[in-house]
Amino acid sequence: MTAVPALSVPALSVEDLSVEFRTRSGVVKVLEHVCFSVDKGETVALVGESGSGKSVTAFAVMGILDAAGKVTSGRAMFGGADLLALSEHDLAEQRGRELSMIFQNPRTALNPIRRVGRQIADVLVRHGGATRNDAPRAAIEMLKKVRIPDPERRAEAYPFELSGGMCQRIMIAIALACRPALLIADEPTTGLDVTTQAVIMDLIGELAGEAGMATIFITHDLALAAEYCDRIVVMHAGHIVEAAPGRDLFAYARHPYSAKLLAATPGETVSLEQMASIPGGLPDLRRADLPACRYSGRCERRLDQCAQPLPQRTVGERHVIACWNPL
């Protein structure tokens, strides 16, 4: 018997992804050279301010970018195939079965005029190989799994009859119905109460762990990311500036932006006076002369060197930063 530890196999590997949006006021370079991977059974958080490109990254991987968006370079390797090169038909086969997504607002993502049990059954019939006859029973099983009380009755409900937390559980049931290999959760708990948020996050974590699912979790809440994710990827203006295991990032963030983001996050031990904001804003991504480091305009540690193309530095185990003058 060979006691070689199982090498972590990336379930999804995004390489050199760049995305542009064509708008009336010019081309917006929304993502540039984004590289990250998610292992089987691993949960990776994408964090950053609004406009940092978290959701666009997810949408590009899922092939659901807005018509104005265009992938200009890169690959997203998933199960031996490049998702970005798949035809719409092949991608549609993958989505729902292998790739799944939980959207931010369950009330707008669910079909308002279809009973929730039917919505789960639809996915099972389309992607899960279930027949129209046994799908309703399987849907009720899914409702049990996401711990909806009285599932037989709730399957007959319309989304407006359920609370926000319950709608989000329905979304999770739909997303996990076919046991996907990769789940993307885009701010799944924004707008929910903290008590509900905790229950939903536990549930996603549990079901993901059970099925060995890879999860990308998009959030702007660093504490939430640290509590539930194995690794955190920090994005700023379409660049990945730092990627590290959650604990390491909190203990010792090396990129100036990550450090500032941490200092702005309210926590248990800091007072309001100790907290600091991040000066400046995101650069205008339409500019033709965008600096190599898009944070350099806001950075206190800027050097002349920062005008050169960004380095990818490995500073610890699975800890990568893109900075010339790290902390």
Partner 1 sequence: MTEAVAPGPLLDIAELAKRFTVGSKQSLLARATSFRKPVAPLPQLYAVDEVSFTIGRGETVGLVGESGCGKSTLVRLINRLLDPTSGSIRLGGAELADFKARNFAANPHRARIQMVFQDASDSLNPRYTAADAIADPIRRLKKMSGPDLAARVEKLADMTGLPRELLSRFPHQLSGGQKARVGIARAIAVEPELLILDEPTAALDVSVQVVILQLLQQLKRELGMSYLFVSHDLNVVRLLCDRVLVMYLGKVVEQGPAAEVFADPKHPYTKALISAIPQAEPEQRVGRLRLGGEPRSPIDPDPRVCRFYGRCPKGTPRCAEDMPLLRPAGLARQVACHFA
Residue nearer to partner 1 on the CB measure, 113 or 194: 194
* DSSP line for 14-31: EEEEEEEEEETTEEEEEE
Near partner 1 in 187-216, by CB under 8 A: 193-199, 202
Among 164, 205, 297, 326, binds partner 1 (CB under 8 A): 164
Among 33, 35, 49, 205, binds partner 1 (CB under 8 A): 49
Q: How far is the CB of 134 from partner 1 (least distance, A)?
A: 29
**What does the block give as tokens for 100?**
């799944």
Q: How far is the CB of 21 from partner 1 (least distance, A)?
A: 19
Among 135, 139, 226, 322, binds partner 1 (CB under 8 A): 226
222 binds partner 1 (CB under 8 A): yes
Of 276, 309, 273, 278, residue with least CA distance to 291: 309
Near partner 1 in 261-290, by CB under 8 A: 261, 264-268, 270-273, 275-278, 281
Burial class (CB in 10 A: 0-12, 13-18, 19+), 92: middle
Q: How far is the CB of 194 from partner 1 (least distance, A)?
A: 4
- Determine the Cα–Cα distance for residues 230 and 173; give it in Å rounded to an integer: 23
Near partner 1 in 114-153, by CB under 8 A: 147, 149
Three-class SS state of 46: strand
| Site stretch for partner 1 (CB under 8 A), options 55-63, 105-113, 170-178, 242-250 | 242-250
| C-alpha distance from residue 83 to each of 70, 122, 150 (Å) | 14, 24, 39
Do you know the residue count of the chain? 327
- Determine the Cα–Cα distance for residues 69 and 67; give it in Å rounded to an integer: 5
Q: How far is the CB of 222 from partner 1 (least distance, A)?
A: 7
Residues in contact with 175: Cβ distance below 8 Å, sequence separation at least 6, in sequence order: 100, 101, 102, 183, 185
25 binds partner 1 (CB under 8 A): no
247 binds partner 1 (CB under 8 A): yes
Q: How far is the CB of 169 from partner 1 (least distance, A)?
A: 11
**What does the block give as tokens for 284?**
């205008």
- Residues at the contact surface with partner 1, assessed by CB under 8 A: 49-50, 147, 149, 163-164, 166, 193-199, 202, 220-224, 226-228, 246-247, 250, 260-261, 264-268, 270-273, 275-278, 281
